[in-house]
Chains A and B, each alone.
Chain A
């Protein structure tokens, strides 16, 4: 087995809750408790759970947006929360993120090409022609055209915007992509296209993918292994095949049933 790309060890994150009484502090909200996992290069790990299960907190910790209360996140063996800011900045091109809401993840006041080039500029690539070429390449990789770089986000549909967000995430040719509910806000018809695009890119670029979602059917179709979360805890983890055929935890079974039910109703509809 190759050395893992990303290792998360014993991650814990709590958020303070507002006091309800003057003299007694409320116990903090535990958003995440003792979460550990690893992703090998080119592997897809799915994290599934309902809202409030700590999935998004996990993504924010992995991306270094917030510090964990305990545990660590290692990318290429380096603890990203222990790195000095400059060193973390240099590591940024290696791991990128796709957000849930394609309407909020692009700056409405900036041309699409500017947004896609942002990670390159931050990495110190400033030549105008090389920026333009890389942006054009990324746009074509996600099925858009180089000419779209000069347009603004509001000129695109939700699915197209998500393609643009993916272009921005892969423009630095990262090793790891974190996708937080990346298809949940999209229409069902567009969802499959974006999922296919992600799988194609993953294959072409050898991306490690941390795919966060709540729909077991999507996760099972996409991921090599799955981590099931409930109320901030990992309740079950393992390869997709085993989890689907022999779910051990009742919550995993419930998620499976929910996904199956949805497929059934979808199949029954004309």
Chain B
């Protein structure tokens, strides 16, 4: 039951954030970049439900646009990195031997290197932008998914139905596609959900450092950085993006936790 609750709460939080982000693509209460210096740091009012920032821009509008940026970069990065990593993991598992050994040692190598430091290095080399941030986060996800996919796939490869597939005359690629992928999809989906939470944090951290979204684009991490200088004057400026980051990370974390229970094969069998 606990998992049921976390699944629902997570789905609601993620759904809210995603909806806010989607709406912002078409409509925001105020134009995103409209500067109104006379009204800067305004308190919440009917016109500006959450007030305005240091340049008089509507906070709610910028938080919504920030949701679109954060979620799309995080989800896109995890999908890209997870897809490549899963492919490598499947390859390692299907071929075994030296291929597997080499790929997995490469993964170990990349785990030994601090991920955030690597992202900063990338931004320094290729210039700060939201795209480069996404690519860096995707790269970090490759070995994570390679390892999870390979571990799960290895457990499936020894099952009798895979042997039956080999006896049927199917090749490694066909078996990977038809038997391995459907049987490891559940743990990968769980992993992806949890990694999206981590990716949102990473994107916020990189944007906070000025390596992600560039002004005037809105991003939660960037908003935190801008609010920092005004912390004593207008503390709420930092609270709102902070709350959004917390809610999104918590939402994906709870969703992953709930999905893990749903994906548990033992539970599936009990229902059957």
Contact = CB atoms under 8 A, between A and B. Distances in A.
Interface of A: 63, 65, 85, 88-90, 92-93, 95-97, 99-101, 104-110, 115, 118-119, 121-123, 154-155, 165, 168
Interface stretch (B168-176, B212-220, B255-263): B168-176
Contacts of B105: none
Contacts of A108: 183, 268
A11 B167 CA distance: 20
Contacts, number: 69
A101 B168 contact: no
Contact of B164 (A88, A99, A123, A155): A99
A168 B164 contact: yes
A109 B183 contact: yes
13 contacts: A65-B163, A96-B168, A100-B160, A105-B160, A106-B164, A108-B183, A110-B179, A118-B165, A118-B170, A119-B168, A122-B168, A154-B269, A168-B164
Interface in B135-179: 159-161, 163-171, 174, 178-179
B159 A92 contact: no
Contacts of B272: 154-155
B269 A99 contact: no
Contact of B167 (A92, A106, A109): A92
Nearest to B161: A107
A118 B182 contact: no
Given A89-B169, A97-B167, A107-B182, 16 more contacts: A92-B167, A92-B168, A96-B167, A97-B164, A99-B160, A99-B163, A101-B160, A104-B161, A110-B182, A115-B161, A119-B167, A121-B168, A122-B168, A122-B169, A154-B272, A168-B164
Where chain B touches its partner, the secondary structure class is helix
A161 B56 CA distance: 69
Most buried by A among B159, B164, B170, B272: B164
Nearest to A119: B168
A190 B9 CA distance: 48
A109 B183 CA distance: 7
In the A-B complex, the 9 residue pairs with the closest CB atoms: A92-B169, A119-B168, A154-B272, A122-B169, A105-B160, A104-B160, A109-B182, A107-B161, A89-B169
A222 B5 CA distance: 56
Nearest to B162: A107
B179 to A, nearest CB: 6
Interface residues of B, number: 20
B176 to A, nearest CB: 13
Contacts of A122: 165, 168-170, 174
A46 to B, nearest CB: 20
Interface in B186-236: none
A123 B174 CA distance: 13
A150 B250 CA distance: 40
Contacts of A93: 169
A106 B182 CA distance: 13
Contacts of A90: 169
A165 B164 contact: yes
A123 B163 CA distance: 16
A168 B167 CA distance: 10
Contacts of A168: 164, 168
B169 A105 contact: no
A149 B105 CA distance: 44
B168 A118 contact: yes
Contacts of B171: 85, 89
Contacts of B167: 63, 65, 92, 95-97, 119
A105 B166 contact: no
A236 to B, nearest CB: 29
A121 to B, nearest CB: 8
B173 to A, nearest CB: 12
A95 B166 CA distance: 12
B160 A65 contact: no
Contacts of A100: 160
A105 to B, nearest CB: 4
A21 to B, nearest CB: 23
A109 B179 CA distance: 8
B50 to A, nearest CB: 47
A231 B161 CA distance: 28
B168 A107 contact: no
Most buried by A among B166, B168, B170, B174: B168
B264 to A, nearest CB: 13
A113 to B, nearest CB: 14
B62 to A, nearest CB: 44
Nearest to B166: A65
B168 A104 contact: no
A30 B269 CA distance: 38
